[in-house]
Amino acid sequence: MPVAGQTVRASDIPIRGGVQLRRAANQSIPNNTSTPISWDTQDEDIGGFWTSGTTITVPADYDGIYVVTFRVVVPTAASTRNFAEVVVTSSITGITGEYRIPSSSPTGGESRMAAYYTGPLAAADTFVANVVQSTGSPQNATATVTCYKTGD
């Protein structure tokens, strides 16, 4: 572990399990439809959180506190509502739900969106990362998601 004044590297932080995925190829996102990202590239998977498709599942023996970060880019900003969301299905009371950050502006929306979830997840809990865009026509999207256990 570094001492005071030293730079902290990612390798200095203990990782207790998690996954980093990307949607590297464009995925078509229909207008005004909550669409789950279908991941096509796995950069890291410590523990077996993902095999294919849209759903990320917490493996057995990996209950704990997690930080989930989802980022998505569409080429055209909407002048109305866009949002990214992390949709959690959990066996833990009160956790299941949609975690989103809407993006809208009267002068033009954002083409880069993000959503986050920080909290408990139990073994077999799942989540998907969705995007909604409202440009009036389908848009191609690329995205990343990270999910790492930070504590017990």
For residues 82 and 41, the model is more confident at 41
Q: Among 29-43, 53-67, 92-106, 130-144, which stretch is predicted with the lowest mean pLDDT?
A: 92-106
**Is residue 86 within 8 Å of 117, Cβ to Cβ?**
yes
For residues 109 and 27, the model is more confident at 27
Residue 12 structure tokens: 């200095």
Among residues 106, 150, 98, which one has the least CA distance to residue 129?
98
For residues 75 and 91, the model is more confident at 91
Query: Rounded to 10 degrees, what is the CA torsion of 136, 142, 147, 148?
Result: -140
pLDDT digits (tens, 9 = 90+) for 78-128: 666 788 899 999 999 888 888 887 655 545 566 788 899 999 999 999 999
**Is residue 27 within 8 Å of 37, Cβ to Cβ?**
yes
Q: Among 11-25, 35-49, 56-70, which stretch is predicted with the lowest mean pLDDT?
A: 11-25
